[in-house]
Structure 1
Amino acid sequence: MPEGDTVYRAAAHLHEALAGSVVTRAELRVPRYSAAARSLVGCKITSVTPRGKHLLTNFDDGRVLHTHLGMDGSWRIARSGQRPRVAHHLIRAALETNRTIALGLELSVVELLTSDEATARLGHLGPDLLGPDWDPSAALARIQQKPSREIAAALLDQRNLAGLGNEYVTELCFLRGLDPHTPVGEVRDIPRLIELAHRLITVNRDRVERTTTGNLRRGQRSWVFSRDGQPCRRCGSTILRETHASGSETSSDPNATTRISYRCPHCQPQSGNT
């Protein structure tokens, strides 16, 4: 599941493969930008950078290709002329240089923007857990603005801190003994929770096998995430599958959208708010 660490690695690989090279072919399979993509030919790619869960491919003419992996997206890289074996209909973006081809597959967002437009587009994001702007105090202040909000939703809200997805949030709640529905105002030591989030995503940013347990063996990498019906690794209780607010809820309905949640009923006692 793509979260901030996945995007961080994708940006690093794309930067290594593309930065400093001139575009020889470009294709964006989005009606609004399909024609403009051709004008990228001849432009130099200056950098590829992550911002939370967003990828920014920067060109020397000031434009930025903004992409988002969504739930299933990825980038594939190969030598120029050796197109990766992928289903043609999955390709939403393609950038080719004289040495490399990069294909964006099943991307949820593909936009070709000016640098000012890109800045405005991502201006709502909170401090990036894996970025140079990381500021735990700013993240804390944003989270505490809504004390009645569920802690899981507050951590998932990219306006508070950028980079966490549902897997990290579910695991963080377990590690801190929290029911994901616990109101922010009832969570003790939120700074420690934020520090743990930063530490977990940082140690995972350079490896494909994400783990929150410290064990890299298949089936041993998570405490509760996707382990409903299985015994808790700490106490043996059966892990429950529930839902919690998604972090992108509307002001009129805080539970308009939900995400799957996993909880140990013993290690994470049910909040009185549920």
Structure 2
Amino acid sequence: MPEGDTVWQAASRLHGALAGKVLTLSDLRVPKYATADLTGRTVLDVTPRGKHLLTRIEGGLTLHSHLRMDGSWKVYATGQRWTGGPAHQIRAILGTADRTAVGYRLPVLELLRTADEHRAVGHLGPDLLGPDWDPDQALANLLADPTRPLGEALLDQRNLAGIGNVYKSELCFLLGATPWLPVGALPAERAARLPALAKRLLEANRDRLVRSTTGSRGQDLFVYGRAPRPCLRCRTPVRVADQGDGSRERPTYWCPGCQSGPAPVPNASRRTPRRTTH
């Protein structure tokens, strides 16, 4: 699932393959940009910003993409078979003399003036893996609406950029709070360490092929994807429920033994909370 660490890895691969090289192939398969031709221009850099990718190109242009749930960028050597999916799922092709980057299932793809990048990413909060990281600002953003559920606040990229559903569930577990706990009800000492903990998790995984929050090989995550298996700490069955407004699937995992705060009652609407205790 693409989150800040996955996007950082994608940017690193694309930068290594394209940066400093002249484009010999350009094909943007989005109606608005179908006639855009970037061939002959040099790729300057590929930069991640939260869950966004900014491919900067000579002439003051930026190709902005977002992976969301299913998107990916694959890099192939000349003559190598493309294996990222069927041809109809390809949204972008950027080729150089020796490498070809292919964007599959990209839900967001737009060509911007580099000077206008703020239109795409200006709303984002401090980037957990970026040079603009500011833990104090991230915490202030999270606490600005104290009644908001912790899990929803963590997913809001305007608060801090890079957290997705996996890290949301794992962070809430490590903080000992359910994702439905109002963020203002999180004890002050735990709230204070939240930004540093989030940054440590993403930094630890940005160079890993297999994401891990536990440090234990073979048991990579504490709660995400583990329902109804026993919690790694207390052996209570891990639970799962949707969180959010219902506009998209947000499966959220938690341990009712290790995490305190409101949580959905089993077999009831996710909007009906109950209290759990340690």
TM-score under structure 1 normalisation? 0.92
Counterpart of 1:261 in structure 2 is 252
The alpha carbon displacement at 1:169 in A equals 0.6
Measure, in 2, the Cα distance between the counterparts of 1:80 and 1:26.
Answer: 15
For 1:138, what is the secondary structure of its paired residue? helix
Task: State yes or no: 1:48 paired with 2:46.
Answer: yes
Distance 1:77 1:121 in 2: 24
Paired with 1:80 and 1:149, the residues of 2 have a C-alpha distance of 50
Equivalent in the alignment of 1:190: 191
Query: Which runs of structure 2 are paired with 1:33-182 in the superposition (5 Å)?
Result: 33-36=33-36, 38=37, 40-85=38-83, 86-182=85-181
Rounded Cα–Cα distance in structure 2 between residues aligned with 1:180 and 1:227: 16
SS of the residue aligned with 1:137?
helix
Structure 2, unmatched stretches of 5+, are 264-271, 274-278
Q: Residues 224-235 of structure 1: matches in 2 within 5 Å? A: 224-235=223-234
The superposition leaves residues 20-64 of structure 1 with CA deviations (integer Å, 9 ceiling, x where unpaired) of 11111111111011111x2x1111000001000000100110100
Instruction: Write the letter of the residue equivalent to 1:236.
Output: R
Superposed displacement of residue 213, structure 1: 0.7
Q: Could you tell me how far apart the structure 2 residues matched to 1:68 and 1:136 are?
A: 24
What corresponds to 2:217 in structure 1?
A: 216
What code does the residue aligned with 1:46 have?
L
Instruction: Tell me the residue number matched to 1:6.
Output: 6
Matched with 1:252 is none
Deviations along 1:170-225, one digit per CA (max 9) or x if unpaired, are: 011111110110001101131211211110110100111100111232xx111110
Q: Distance in 1 between matches of 2:116 and 2:213?
A: 36
Q: Which amino acid aligns with 1:263?
A: W
2:30 is aligned to: 30
Q: CA deviation at 1:269?
A: 2.7
Calculate the TM-score normalised by the size of structure 2: 0.90
1:202 partnered with 2:203? yes
Percent of aligned pairs with the same residue?
A: 50
Partner of 2:21: 21
Shift in Å, 1:104: 0.6
Q: Is the Cα–Cα contact under 8 Å of residues 46 and 53 in structure 2 kept in the other structure?
A: yes
What's the secondary structure of 2:35's corresponding residue?
A: helix
Task: Decide which moves more: 115-124 or 57-66.
Answer: 115-124
Q: Is contact 2:231–2:237 with CA below 8 Å preserved after alignment?
A: yes
Give the C-alpha shift of residue 80 in structure 1: 2.7
1:6–1:256 CA distance, 2 compared to 1 (3 A):
closer
Q: Which runs of 4+ in 1 moved over 6 A?
A: none
What is the one-letter code of the residue matched to 2:128? Answer: L
Q: CA RMSD in A?
A: 1.5
Deviates more, 1:85-94 or 1:133-142: 85-94
Q: CA deviation at 1:231?
A: 0.5
Q: How many corresponding residue pairs?
A: 262
